[in-house]
């Protein structure tokens, strides 16, 4: 079973920041937080991951609370192409273990 809880859906206006929350209250000390997204009819795509520090890359920023029980994925300037299902996953620091997908958050970016 997925170890994370995410809202079922969210809307965001185009050009605004999209903030996607995730609760992972049972995360263990050596587990990372990963975010993937799935655009309609495509395979999931890696976005970002982190352990306890905030992380940023060209796609997004990841903010992890100090107690590591929750995190927020931030898309700074959402575009229509960011409309997708976003999955928050916790797991070891390795892409070599199976990903356990929950239901994710369906983000709709609205013009």
Partner 1 sequence: DAGVIQSPRHEVTEMGQEVTLRCKPISGHDYLFWYRQTMMRGLELLIYFNNNVPIDDSGMPEDRFSAKMPNASFSTLKIQPSEPRDSAVYFCASSSSGLAGGYEQYFGPGTRLTVT
Binding-site ranges for partner 1 (CB under 8 A): 32, 34, 41-46, 49, 87, 93-96, 98-103
In the complex, the smallest distance separating the C-beta of residue 43 from partner 1, rounded to whole angstroms, is: 3
CA 80 to chain centre: 17
SS3 43: coil
Sign for the CA dihedral angle at 46, 8, 15, 73 comes to: negative
Residue 3 neighbours by CB distance under 10 Å: 17
Nearer to partner 1, 49 or 68 (CB): 49
Nearer to partner 1, 41 or 111 (CB): 41
In the complex, the smallest distance separating the C-beta of residue 2 from partner 1, rounded to whole angstroms, is: 9
Nearer to partner 1, 29 or 111 (CB): 29
Residue 102 neighbours by CB distance under 10 Å: 15
């Amino acid at each position: 079973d997925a170890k994370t809880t995410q809202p079922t859906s969210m809307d965001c206006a185009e050009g605004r920041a999209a903030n996607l929350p995730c609760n992972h209250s049972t995360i263990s000390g050596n587990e990372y937080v990963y975010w993937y997204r799935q655009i309609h009819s495509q395979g999931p795509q890696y976005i970002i991951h982190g352990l306890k520090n905030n992380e940023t890359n060209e796609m997004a920023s990841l903010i992890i609370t100090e107690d590591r029980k929750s995190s927020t994925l931030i898309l700074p300037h959402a575009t229509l192409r960011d409309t997708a299902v976003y999955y928050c996953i916790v797991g070891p620091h390795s892409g070599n273990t199976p990903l356990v997908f929950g239901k994710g958050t369906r983000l709709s970016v609205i013009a």
